[in-house]
Structure 1
Amino acid sequence: MSEKPSKGNSLRLVIIVLLGLIVVGGAAFGGMYLAGKKGSTTTATTAKVEVTTEVTYSLDEFLVNLTDTDAKRYLKVLIYVGYGENADLATELETQKPVIRDLVIKTLRAKKTADFDDKVVDGIKKELIAVINPVLTKGKIDHIYFNDLLVQ
């Protein structure tokens, strides 16, 4: 009689351990399943974002002196303007290019070397947009892109 109670206790122990593993495994599977669904929902939402096409126009390269007082410094930069598709604006940019270049040169010549720090350069881009847009009558530019920026 002493053997039967120990077999019953060990059988109970095995059943409890197996049930515990099934519950933990089920919870882990359910959590992974729900996490996988949430990840795919986010991806589907991201995929629905509309991509607007933007046209860029080159204002060519600028080479200007900066207003630093400690030494002679200059800026060399290739600037592009970005705008939504607008054939009339493209034509106007071409005809107004000398005026726009003059405005950009005046704006850039008033800057110092420290103004072209990564944190400040976005402010310069906004300033250039604010200077250029009043000249345009058939549309507005949305972005300024600096390529090959060199401050020396």
Structure 2
Amino acid sequence: MAEGPTPRIVVAEADFDLGTEAGRLEDGPDTGAVVTFTGRVRDVPGDADASLDHMLIEHYPGMTERALTDMARQAAERWPLSGVTIIHRHGRLAPGDRIMMVATASRHRDAAFDAAAFLMDYLKSRAPFWKKEVTADGAIWVDARETDEAALDRWID
């Protein structure tokens, strides 16, 4: 198993600063590229016609951090990364709020982009978070979409 960077994994209710988090990965002497992706709560829920009031994200502490750490280590085994950050919020989030961030750093951009895409696909399909969309009409739990599963398939050997 390749020795990679120690991933930064944060699961919290509090918001985060994009610039600060990206800046943490820019300092490595071997870092030539930093790729970030930030997910936000959309106003229109999955298949509903009503506006989204809020999203509720639940998780199991400990289990979630272990799963995200494992995902980050898998990325570091596949690509030559100098840094990995995964941040995911939980609790009650309003439309426009940041939900999560993935950031990867590498000597070259291709590795940073591919690793970030890999992590995003895993987060959408396999991360142990449960999301409920709440509208004036009620609430529904959100499942991974078939397109999310298909995106993940490209990384399976």
Q: Report the TM range for the smaller structure's normalisation.
A: 0.3 to 0.5
Structure with the higher helix share, 1 or 2: 1
Q: TM-score, normalised by structure 2?
A: 0.31
Query: Greater RCO between the two (CA within 8 Å, min separation 6)?
Result: 2
Q: TM-score, normalised by structure 1?
A: 0.32
Greater gyration radius: 1
